[in-house]
Amino acid sequence: MRCDAGVKLVCRQAQASGASVESTAQSLNRGVVVKIIVGVKRVLDYNVKARVKADKSGIELANVKMSMNPFDEIAVEEALRIKEAGRAEEVVVVSIGPAQSQETIRTGLAMGADRGILIQTDEQLQPLAIAKLFKHVIDKESPGLVILGKQAIDGDNNQTGQMLSALTGMTQATFASKVEFEEGDQALKVTREVDAGLESVRVQLPCIVTTDLRLNEPRYAKLPNIMKAKKKPLEVIELADTGVDTASKLSVVEVNEPAKRQAGVMVDSVAQLIEKLRNEAKVI
Amino acid sequence: MNTLILAEHDAGELRPATLNVVAAAGQIGGGEVHLLLAGQDVAAAAEAAAAVDGVNRVLVADAAPYANAMAADLSALVVSLAEGYGHILFAENATGKNVMPRVAALLDVSGISGISQVISSDTFVRPIYAGNALATVKSEDAVKVITVRPTSFDPVEATGGSAAIEAVEAAAIDERARFLGQELSDSDRPELTSADIVVSGGRGMQNGDNFSMLDEIAGKLNAAVGASRAAVDAGFVPNEYQVGQTGKVVAPNLYLAVGISGAIQHLAGMKDSKVIVAINKDEEAPIFQVADYGLVADLFEALPELSAALDG
């Protein structure tokens, strides 16, 4: 049986189940994206000011509002739209973090995702470890598409999606502002936000997509769906049970507040402002 | 040990950000600085790279697929050359962010994103929480794979160097990911994240049409136009204008905030600007707490006056 790179996962599933070439072809007619995995992270709410702990060990996260990382909300929304367009059968929300991350997963389920997986740990993991854990999930779940936020607004690393692509061999399309299906749903045309504007790429599925702000506007979960979400399946896996090596040689020495800005001056008129900018600040 | 830098280029010219990354490499020290130039017909850019102050060697991978800087292709190339380097650096921009984590993962080391300061060859400072905090991180990996925030390092001189130029072989090309095209913003206007001056509007602009007043001023200052999330959410301008924690982080020489109250998430995206000017009719607006120059005024009177004054 011939397995093109783009349909590798479907082929792998078909081979594993002893399915015939014909049934593989049938599943291809429906497109290769049977399942979408979306990553979500619980982070300090974007409207809360980050305060450095007195002992400089990190950011104060006790008794502050936590929310789903905004880019991950966009990822969930995109996955749901793809499913609603009939191009995927299941959306699985995956988080890696403390027990409270279940709430973040429930938020995704309330938006409309089908089930959740939490790899539970209280450790602060680096993106490489997170990517290895996502690979662990992908090896089991064989998704046709993985959608992650381009970065979490806490660590601002912007690494996990790219690392996951490198580790799994799935194609990569980062900073997506538009995702379209092509070639009988075996490839994506992704419009990407780059420094000078937009570029478009065509990537064979399975693919890792990371979201940028313009991709969509995430829906709000409605109350009945929040209730329904409580009954959707959520599997909790202890980090140790994954067998994944998450050791890191990168450590945080300390976290500091940035230097405060010097107090400025108020000007009385546009003319005075221009004068200051030209002669004092010398920026125009 | 030596440092390898992925150089970026456009139409035969080095991108300025590469000069900032070379400056960071100089602070890391320890050995030679090598620039890797990947692309098609890059002879002119290679000459420019060889002239950069502080560069010892320029490695040129001249192959058609590199012209479009696809992440899988560039990361395979960097990894094929990685042996023996102590540091591999990229600019923290669209290309660097796309490629660096792949290189780190393929080498099984942690990536270090967006450093703003070099403490020593293994210890760096990087902004987290959109710059609301600065993390000092230490890497014990054999090779440190890093993106460098260009605005945090003064560029080295583009001339004065005389590095050797040497061809290197292309690495594997991933045919499953192909470049289709680009749709670049108005090229007359600088790009938001690299502009020297940014003029931004908030909810106080009242509607999208009024942003033409900011466009006019931006045109006279050769500035980029940005917006607060409130203005984007209100539909005045598209998301690509958004400056803030969930939008673009900018650090221009001059940031002019007009009708922007100064929500935390907006401040996070612009407070590293060298000079901040705020124009707002509400004297209590939090934006004034970070402004170097504040003007309490109705923007619909102040902007036409400002525009006229810039002609003078």
Predicted complex ipTM exceeds 0.85: yes
| Residue numbers of A between 156 and 215 with CB closer than 8 Å to B | 156-167, 171-175, 189, 192-204, 213-214
Q: What is the 3-state secondary structure (H, E, C) of chain A?
A: CCCCHHHHHHHHHHHHCCCCHHHHHHHHHCCCCCEEEEECCEEECCCCCCCECCCCCCECCCCCCEEECHHHHHHHHHHHHHHHCCCCCEEEEEEEECCCHHHHHHHHHHHCCCEEEEEECCCCCCHHHHHHHHHHHHHHHCCCEEEEECCCCCCCCCCHHHHHHHHHCCEEEEEEEEEEEECCCCEEEEEEEECCEEEEEEEECCEEEEECHHHCCCCCCCHHHHHHHCCCCEEEEEHHHHCCCCCCCEEEEEEECCCCCCCCEEECCHHHHHHHHHHHCCCC
In chain B, residues with a C-beta closer than 8 Å to the C-beta of A198 are 182-184
Phi/psi of residue A259, each to 5°? -60, 135
- Residue A128: list chain B partners with CB under 8 A: 104-105, 108-111
Task: Tell me which chain A residues have a C-beta less than 8 angstroms from the C-beta of B253.
Answer: 283
Say what the pLDDT of residue B234 is.
93
Q: Which of A203, A253, A264 sits opposite B292 (nearest CB)?
A: A264
Residue B253, burial from CB neighbour count under 10 angstroms (0-12, 13-18, 19+): middle
What is the model's pLDDT at position A21?
A: 38
Q: Which 24-43 residues of chain A touch chain B by CB within 8 A?
A: none
Average pLDDT for A167-193: 95
- Residue listed under structure tokens 């979400």: A229
Of the candidates B52, B10, B2, B63, which has an alpha carbon nearest to the alpha carbon of residue B29?
Answer: B2
Flag whether pLDDT at A140 surpasses 80: yes
**Highest mean pLDDT pick, A21-30, A71-80, B268-277:** A71-80
Is the link from the previous residue into A143 a cis peptide, with omega within 30 of 0? no
Question: Could you tell me which residues are beta bridge partners of residue A236?
Answer: A118
DSSP string for residues in B155-219: PPPSSS---EEEE-------TTEEEEEEEE--TTS--GGG-SEEEEE-GGG-SSTTHHHHHHHHH
State residue A27's pLDDT score.
Answer: 42
For chain B, which ranges sit under pLDDT 50?
none
CB A88 within 8 A of CB A35: yes
In the block, tokens 């003029």 appear at B199
- Which is nearest to B181 in space by CA: A4, A117, A191? A191
- Tell which wins on pLDDT, A196 or B114: B114
A85 contact partners, CB below 8 Å, separation of at least 6? none
pLDDT at A31: 58
pTM of the model: 0.90
User: Shortest CB distance from A153 goes to which of B97, B185, B246?
Assistant: B246
User: How close, in Å, is residue A189 to chain B by CA atoms?
Assistant: 9
pLDDT (mean) for A170-185: 95
The string of pLDDT tens digits covering residues A245-268 is: 999 999 999 999 998 888 799 999
Q: B13 Cβ partners below 8 Å, 6+ apart?
A: B44, B45, B48
- Say what the alpha-carbon torsion angle B230, A283, B21, B185 is, to the nearest 10 degrees: 50
Whole-angstrom distance, CA of residue A11 vs CA of residue A17: 10
Amino acid in the structure at residue B100: M
